[in-house]
Amino acid sequence: MKPIFGKVLYNFRILLAGILLMTTGCSQNQNSAPNIVLILADDLGYSDIGAYGSEIETPHLDRLADNGIRFTQMHNTSKCFPSRAVLLTGQYAQRVGMGETPGHLNSAVMFGEVLSNAGYTTIFVGKHHGTDNPYEWGFDHYWGLRDGAANYFNPGEQRQSDHGPPAQKENYYPRTFLFDDSLAAPFTPPEDYYGTDTWTDWALELLGRYENNSNPFLLYLSYQAPHDPLQAFEEDIKKYEGVYEIGFDSIASARYERQLDMGLIDERYPRSEPTYQQWKTLDDSTKADQVRRMQVYAAMIDRMDQNIGRLLEYLEEQGELDNTLIMFLSDNGASAEVVEIGEGEIGSVTRWASLKEDWANVANTPFRLYKNYSHEGGTATPFIVHWPDVIFEGGQVNHSLLHFIDIMPTLVDVSGATYPAKYKGEDLYPMEGISLLPLLKGDSVARNDALYYEWNVGRAVHTEDWKLVQWGDEWELYDRRTDLTEIKNLAADHQDTVAILQARWEAWSKRVKVVE
């Protein structure tokens, strides 16, 4: 009996030790700071991914949405470089010197520095769109395009394999690429380069350097896609043969119905009046051109999603997916800008073409207008948040009013970092936004001030109940309780509200030093 008792006691001790080890391990995992991955798309329309109603195949983003939260009311600045400045600093772009042109930040700190001081490995890959080097602003690594946009296949000099000169914007050439403290202008890449693929390669390479490091990491992966030039691989373009020949209205209507059916939007989102041309009025040559533009645009988004899938696969292989906060969003709405440079077929290295107004109107369904406007078509973005260790109920849809200024406070809250009072010898303003962590945990948030916008001749002020917006001289007023797509202008009926909100916007513009 004695040996049996001893064996039982030994096994019990092993079991108890295992339970204690498991419990301790779980406790450490729950209390450790999460990894953070922030993925930014460029000129992506509100309805351009599957989780927001699109026919474009984005299974990896859809997976994040199915297991996370989709936010319907996240907003940017309507323009690339101010949005990116807001995202990086937690300040309105006007306040840090980025309200008018993509230049040098002042009175600002980037989240790379803030989280680095909290023990994070901080990596930034992709488009910056400013004149500063993020490597000198607290990021352990910055590899990417410092400027606004570049040829996806070859942003540099013609290579032997190129079938013609790469299409470039001559007034902005050469584009500057930075690799930590090294600069390349022009940057002529290897022949297998494609921006979306290669930037993901860079991100995975840099993450791989720290696999044995116990510190959490922050990855800011800032894609250029699907910003022009419209360039993609033929294998991806061919996936969308026969899809867009049905025209603008059929695609937009199907997207809107999917948005309703999936519960993304409700009766507060009446469909805005389309501005695209009637498909039947176009000649065959124009139709073919429009179909090709949208095929390439779709292929670019598809390819971006494929690369996001590569990143998710890496996180799973490392056992880090559940403890990684992933956020996906776009810097502004789809663009109606017209750019035509070079020759050859749309999609090729020798041609720089853009989406144009008609498909941009479709891309921003259910909203009207586009990039550059302070209306919803310019400022509303898909926003997906995935974090299994905190978000226990997947597939949620949240209608809270949010803005890019909220990202920095969220990162500070999640990481346990401290936002500094001074940086680079300059006093810093307090963060403008609010932490979104309560929303991720199932609670609500309260904002002490309205949200404000100013770009070009566009202006807006957002409260929970109202949106006052302007493009040009006249203010428009919309009731957000019933009209989130800005259809019925109530300015004439609520002049007192217009006056109050206009006064608030003017006070804000003085506070952040808006340049008239």
- Could you give the residue numbers annotated as active site? 80, 129
Of 390, 404, 326, 299, residue with least CA distance to 85: 404
Of 228, 95, 240, residue with least CA distance to 150: 228
Q: For residues 99 and 514, is the Cβ–Cβ distance under 8 A? A: yes
Q: For residues 350 and 48, is the Cβ–Cβ distance under 8 A? A: no
> What's the DSSP call for residue 186?
S
DSSP 412-465: HHHHT----SEETTEE-PPP-S---HHHHTT-----SS-EEEEETTEEEEE-SS
CA-CA distance, 98 to 100, in Å (whole number)?
A: 6
Name the 3-class secondary structure at 327. strand
Contacts of 11 (CB under 8 A, 6+ apart): none
Name the 3-class secondary structure at 146. coil
User: Any bridge partners for residue 422, and if so which?
Assistant: 427
CA-CA distance, 87 to 91, in Å (whole number)?
A: 8
